[in-house]
Amino acid sequence: MAIGRFVAAALLGLSLIGMPQADGASAQSLRVVKKGTASRLDVPMNRAVVVESEIPFAELSIANPSIADISSLSDRTIYVLGKSPGLTTLTLLDGSGRLITNVDVRVAADVTEFKERLRQILPNEKIEVRTANDGIVLSGTVSSAVRLQRALDLAERYAPERVSNLMSVGGVQQVMLKVRFAEMQRSVSKSLSASLGFNGGTGSGRTGGVNTLNTSGALANSLAGNIPAANANTGAFLFGFNAGSVQVSLLLEALEQKGVVRTLAEPNLSALSGQEAKFLAGGEYPVPIAQEDGVITVDFKPFGIELNFIPRVIDGDLINLELNAAVSSIDPSNSLELSGLTIDAFSRRETSTTVEMRDGESFAIAGLIRDEFLDNSSQLPWLGDVPVLGALFRSADYQREQTELVIIVSAHLVTPTRGEALTLPTDRVAPPSEKDLFLFGRTSRSKNGPAAEVAKQDFNGSYGYVLD
């Protein structure tokens, strides 16, 4: 009996220990039931997949039916339809209600067709395509900005306004533009005039191409006073003779001028693809402007060598250039006087255009040929029409001006280099010492190094910063 009572007491104690405790004790005894391996199922949106279970199930449930819809085809086969982007859970239970497994169902946009089209359109580009909620994420490196834009445009067809761009553009994206302005001006001017004078017993007078009769005194001195200065006329000849009581004097004036002007400007400027770059080598000219209240303000107009351009690397080494280039200078010959102020005009050659070229190619973007011709002839009526002798009663001049302008641009894809590899014009010479300046009259001395060795050489043709 004692042994039985002991066994009963032990069983009662064990039963008390195994009873669930209240509050915190009961929370600690709870555990998540897991059976099988939890897996993940990817389902394209608006498409269905059929999956099979290794263990027969008796009950199915989906956490969020708005993301995916399910139906059982058999006790092992499940039909899953993706409805909207998102993540939900599919639960499988056996006949006794015990958990078989939980499956994470991920519904995303279908990018299979997009990937295939992307490979067809851009076959050599390393672009990675991922889905994010209901959008598309593009990453990787493309060879040009144009191909990047093509990929984005194609993605917009499959996910309008839901495309995230994480792509970067590889290759060289910096452009150095070299612009050459070459202008040649030629001018020729010729003139020939004659003045004829005579002095008789009844008085004196003179006549000529543009002169009128008069009765002045010493005729030769009067005609000689019409000879221009030597720097204005290289040919003036005065001679006379007596024919009985009549004194005849003849003044011949001839002038020929020739001039050639050469203008060359060659600015270079580098910029990043898609960014605007500006260059000005010159100055600003003040122009007074009168306001309505009578106050005069000053507006500064730039002049010199101006260059503004926007390069765009289109594809590989193909470059699109949008540029404005101009060369201007102050022209006092066309000045304007206003209220006691003298405002000079400008002589300006300008072009604005957009061209495409490849790396290292050149393009003549502008050209101008101007030819101005002017003839003037004045004479005394009737006398100037007499053959041969009529030349003594005529004055004629001839002027011709020709201008030819060409603007050539060259584009190069460039990459930065180390500063030690670049040589400046100031690297070749150094200020002279007192000994060199005062004793030998040297205004500079050569520096040591490779640049100094180059500076000692004779320059034939074009080399570095020296242009013959």
CATH number, residue 64: 2.60.40.1380
241 within a domain of the structure (yes/no): no
Confidence at residue 144, expressed as pLDDT on a 0 to 100 scale: 78
Give yes or no: residues 376 and 458 share one domain: no
Give yes or no: residues 390 and 288 share one domain: yes
Q: How far apart are CA 129 and CA 163, in angstroms?
A: 10
pLDDT digits (tens, 9 = 90+) for 249-268: 777 777 778 888 777 788 88
Does the pLDDT of residue 228 top 80, yes or no?
no
pLDDT digits (tens, 9 = 90+) for 426-436: 777 778 888 88
Q: How far apart are CA 373 and CA 255, in angstroms?
A: 17
31 within a domain of the structure (yes/no): no
7 within a domain of the structure (yes/no): no
Tell me which of 95-109, 300-314, 316-330, 435-449 is least confident: 435-449
Confidence at residue 19, expressed as pLDDT on a 0 to 100 scale: 43
Coil/strand/helix, residue 419: helix
Give yes or no: residues 258 and 384 share one domain: yes
4 within a domain of the structure (yes/no): no
Give yes or no: residues 434 and 363 share one domain: no
pTM of the model: 0.56
Q: What are the b/e assignments for 331-352, b being 16+ CB within 10 Å?
A: eeeeeeeeeeeeeeeeeebebe
Give yes or no: residues 177 and 149 share one domain: no
Determine the number of helices (DSSP H) and then strands (DSSP E) in the chain.
Answer: 7, 25
Higher pLDDT, 281 or 243: 281
Give yes or no: residues 282 and 369 share one domain: yes
Q: How far apart are CA 288 and CA 301, in angstroms?
A: 11
Q: Mean pLDDT in the chain?
A: 76
Does the pLDDT of residue 447 top 70, yes or no?
no
pLDDT digits (tens, 9 = 90+) for 14-71: 343 344 444 433 334 444 444 555 578 888 888 888 888 888 888 889 999 999 999 9
Q: How far apart are CA 174 and CA 395, in angstroms?
A: 63
Tokens of 330: 């102050």
The residue range of the domain holding 64 is 39-108
Confidence at residue 322, expressed as pLDDT on a 0 to 100 scale: 92
Higher pLDDT, 28 or 310: 310
311 within a domain of the structure (yes/no): yes
Confidence at residue 81, expressed as pLDDT on a 0 to 100 scale: 92
As for how many domains the chain has, the answer is 4
The domain boundary, picked from 89, 108, 127, lies at 108
Give yes or no: residues 64 and 100 share one domain: yes
Q: How far apart are CA 191 and CA 236, in angstroms?
A: 11
17 within a domain of the structure (yes/no): no
Give yes or no: residues 180 and 322 share one domain: yes
pLDDT digits (tens, 9 = 90+) for 328-344: 888 888 888 877 778 88
Give yes or no: residues 49 and 146 share one domain: no
Could you tell me the end-to-end alpha-carbon distance of the chain, in angstroms, rounded to an integer? 132
The domain boundary, picked from 400, 416, 432, lies at 416
20 within a domain of the structure (yes/no): no
The domain boundary, picked from 64, 86, 108, lies at 108
1 within a domain of the structure (yes/no): no
Give yes or no: residues 290 and 352 share one domain: yes
Confidence at residue 198, expressed as pLDDT on a 0 to 100 scale: 66
pLDDT digits (tens, 9 = 90+) for 127-156: 888 887 778 899 988 877 788 888 999 988
- Whether residue 373 contacts residue 177, with contact meaning beta carbons closer than 8 Å, is answered with no
Give yes or no: residues 163 and 192 share one domain: no
Q: How many CB atoms are located within 10 Å of the residue 70 CB?
A: 17
pLDDT digits (tens, 9 = 90+) for 368-395: 888 888 888 887 787 777 787 777 777 8
Does the pLDDT of residue 1 top 50, yes or no?
no
Average pLDDT for 158-162: 84
Average pLDDT for 81-107: 87
Give yes or no: residues 84 and 156 share one domain: no
Higher pLDDT, 213 or 69: 69
Coil/strand/helix, residue 47: coil
